[in-house]
Structure formats: C-alpha cells, structure tokens
Amino acid sequence: MKIIKRFINAAIVFLMSNMYILFKIADMVMPWLGMTIFSICYIWIMIKPLSGLTNIQTNSIRRCQNGCELLYAFLISTAGSIILLFLILFDVVNVELSGAWDWIKYIVSAVLFEALCFWAGIIRVYLYSKQIAVKWRLIGILCGWIPIVHLIVLGKILKLASDENRFENDKILLNESRHNERICATRYPILMVHGVFFRDFRYLNYWGRIPAELEKNGARIFYGNHQSAASVEECGNELAARIMQVLQETGSEKVNIIAHSKGGLDSRYAISMLGMDKYVASLTTINTPHRGCAFADYLLSVIPQSVQNNVAKMYNAALLKLGDYKPDFIAAVRDLTYEACQRRNRLMPDTHGVPVISTGSYLVQPSGGRFPLNMTNGFVKWFDGENDGLVGSDSFKWGDEYIYLTPPDKRGISHGDMIDLNRENIKGFDVREFYVQLVYNLKRRGF
C-alpha cells in the first residue's frame, strides 16, 4: 500500500510536469479540461500528498512525512520524465513538436513543476526534521547543483527524515500503549546528576530527551543542580544538600540517583562519606570513570602549568557568571586522574549497602562520535584501550550489576550518546528507551 500511494503521488507530478507533451501524444480535443483536472490533482498533492506512514500522531511528524512523500514523488517523476525525453529524442515515442518553441515550452513546464514538487518537499523536511544534522543540511545546499551527487545527497536526507518519522511515531504509540502502566513510577523520586563541565540549565537539558521520556512513563525527576567543575568532595557536599532538599520537597524517605560521568564519583562520595546512604535507595552510574582516566593524567603531565592556570582562570570566570559559586577547573580535572580515583576507592570501597548499577559503552571509531569525542577517541585508546571517547571501558564497572553496551554497528556509542547530548537517534540503540527500562527495573525491585 505504501508503494502504491507513492506511485500515485509520483504519477500526478509526472502527468503535470509532462502535460504539454502528453496532450500532443494523446492528441486531445479538450486540452483545457485535462489541464484543469491535472492542476487540481497536482495542487492537492502539493498540499496533502498520500502518505506511506499511517496513524501519524503529531502535526510535526505529519508535515515532515508530507515533505518526504513529495521528495519521493519528485525522484520517481523526474526519472520518468527523463525516460520519456529519451524516448522522444530517439523516436521511440512519436511526437510532433513544431520547432524550438515547442521544445522550450515542454522543457520549461517539466522543470517548473518538478522543481515546485522538490521545493515543497525539501522545505518541509528542513523545517520539521530534527535528525538531519547541520552537516547534511549544508551538504544538501552546496551539492544541490551538482548532477548525480545531488541525488545521492537527497537520498541520504530523505532516508534520515523518513527513518525519524517512523521511529518517533512508533515511540509515541508505544508510550500511549503503556500509559496506564506508569512503568517508571518508582517508589522514590529520581535524582539525575550531571557530569563535569556542564550545568543543569533550565532551557538546555543536559540529559537531552531522556527526562521527558521518563516523565511520560510516570517518573518524578529532579536534578543535582551542583556546580559544573569542582572537586569530588565539593560536589559531593552539594549533592548531599540537594538530596535533603528533594526529600523535604517530596516527603519521600529516599531518592534513586542516576549519575553520568564524574557525577557518579560525586554521588558515591555523598553516599559513602557524608551519610547519604540512609537516604539513597539506589545508585545508577552512567559511563563513570570509577578507576580514573589515564588520559587525564597524561594531559596534566604534558600541558605546561601556566597554560593549565590560564585555561582554569578563563573557565572559572565564565562559570561564575553562569551560576557556579566556587568553580575549580583544576580540582575537577585532577579528581578524574587514575591516582586520585585509586586513592578515593581505598577510602570509600563501597556504598554502605546501597545497590549500585553501573553502565558503560564503546565508541568503535572516531567518526562515530560528535566533536570533540571524535578527536579524543584515538588518544584515549592509546592510554586506556577500548573507550567511549573519554573513559576507558575498564573504568566503568562498579557494584554488583554491570551493563556494558556493545556497539550495534561500526559507529558505536559515545560518552555523549549515553546522555542524549546530541538528541540523535542511533541505529540499534534507543537511548530514551534504555533509560525507561533502567528505571522500570528500579520500580520492579521496589525502589
């Protein structure tokens, strides 16, 4: 049915684009009647093409899918128009075109209506698709006038948008089907703890689309709201205060902590060293360097102290303006080193009975990650082996339960992918559903 609908769209665009020549082939007696019928069908398709995606849930997806359908129609119709032109040129189809003026009218009308279909489609896709990266948008603009290449690029853009529409629509249907189950409605609220060099901004969520997905399935979400860069000890104290604040706000006895990167170290410190074990039901660490990063040791050893101080001074000054009250860039980096982590692990070898679930992932090749992880992956591999672009795989595991995400393909899963940093749909890894299942597991365990 999907293929039939797309060929109907393409057939209408083809008929309109080649209307001038088709009237001559058919030797129509009433060309204006045919033109009127073709025009009405063409305008209708431009507004509301037949869609290969059924049960569409949002206007945004519908508009993007309509754009995709017009681009499919453009590609099929253009191919048909080219074949018809060659059939005419080689006298396979006998058409009487009286001189250059007839040819000009034929070519101009064909190009005009095909172009209208293309632009009606590409504008909608560019406006409503969220998965077409800036890179592909720019490539599409730059390569739009290069024969053959522009078709390859268009095919890539079309695939990205079509896959996005289907994927996002299926997610909405999935969440609706389990809405009443509230599978993420845990006994205790969720406290999400960010990693180093980020903050919990109001309009730029560190965790991407993950919190909204959890809330759709019943979760109560709170954030650490601690500084972006400070020592583990300092951040641990901030988190301890935040935990007590959340308990007071909610009336709950405990919280479930989900912490990314350095946030996992900060959370362990609060639990093991500051008495928060009484108020934490579970700790889930996401790609946390529990045993440190040899790459961090290397950077601190080769970068001159004067350069480190200058970078720290600029960073601390900027973050003071963004909300940190006592940022310490150098302390944050030093607490990620192998030596610092080993020293802390001797001081706090466990979390005093709090269940710990740790996760990790693997970035197969640099090109799989976005900047700067595509730059650091190779360097980290030299020091720490298999890694997520920042942290070596041997450093992720902590506690009794460990989830290691093996790459679904040659791309892999980066440090940033694990928090949906780029809001990117990754083939074979649905990060939002991964967190839904993590929290669902907490609920099943009574947390």
Q: How many domains does the chain have?
A: 2
Contact between 335 and 265 (Cβ < 8 Å)? yes
pTM of the model: 0.89
Q: For the segment 59-78, what is each residue's pLDDT rounded down to a tens digit?
A: 999 999 999 999 999 999 99
- Are 314 and 358 members of one domain? yes
- Are 200 and 338 members of one domain? yes
Q: For the segment 305-314, what is each residue's pLDDT rounded down to a tens digit?
A: 888 888 888 9
Contact between 324 and 201 (Cβ < 8 Å)? no
In this model, does residue 373 exceed pLDDT 80?
Answer: no
Instruction: Give the domain-ending residue among 174, 201, 217.
Output: 174
- Are 371 and 405 members of one domain? yes
Inside any domain, residue 379: yes
Position 244 scores a pLDDT of 97
- Are 60 and 117 members of one domain? yes
- Are 168 and 215 members of one domain? no
- Are 379 and 416 members of one domain? yes
DSSP per-residue letters across 83-152: HHHHHHHTTSS-----SHHHHHHHHHHHHHHHHHHHHHHHHHHHHH-SSS-HHHHHHHHHTTTSTTHHHH
Token readout for 253 is 């006895």
Position 265 scores a pLDDT of 97
- Are 332 and 364 members of one domain? yes
Residue 170: C-alpha distances to residues 54, 157, 165, 387, 401 (Å): 11, 20, 8, 31, 30
Inside any domain, residue 179: no
Q: For the segment 102-121, what is each residue's pLDDT rounded down to a tens digit?
A: 678 778 888 899 999 999 99
Name the band, by pLDDT with cuts 50, 70 and 90, for residue 357. very high
Residue 345: closest CA among 399, 291, 418: 291
- Are 234 and 289 members of one domain? yes
With a pLDDT cut of 70, the percent of the chain lying above it is 93
- Are 326 and 194 members of one domain? yes
- Are 73 and 216 members of one domain? no
Inside any domain, residue 303: yes
In this model, does residue 93 exceed pLDDT 70?
Answer: no
Name the band, by pLDDT with cuts 50, 70 and 90, for residue 409. confident
Average pLDDT over residues 126-150: 88
Inside any domain, residue 381: yes
**Domain residues for 295?**
184-444
Instruction: Give the domain-ending residue among 174, 205, 236.
Output: 174
Average pLDDT over residues 400-416: 88
Contact between 255 and 327 (Cβ < 8 Å)? no
Q: For the segment 17-62, what is each residue's pLDDT rounded down to a tens digit?
A: 887 776 665 555 556 666 778 788 889 989 999 888 888 889 999 9
Q: For the segment 187-245, what is each residue's pLDDT rounded down to a tens digit?
A: 999 999 999 988 888 888 999 999 999 999 999 999 999 999 999 999 999 999 999 99
In this model, does residue 323 exceed pLDDT 60?
Answer: yes
Distance (Å, rounded) from C-alpha 393 to C-alpha 345?
17
- Are 388 and 275 members of one domain? yes
The CATH number covering residue 224 comes to: 3.40.50.1820
Q: For the segment 204-214, what is each residue's pLDDT rounded down to a tens digit?
A: 899 999 999 99
- Are 158 and 238 members of one domain? no
Instruction: Give the domain-ending residue among 174, 202, 225.
Output: 174
Q: What angle separates helix 59-89 from helix 100-128, to the nearest 10 degrees?
A: 160
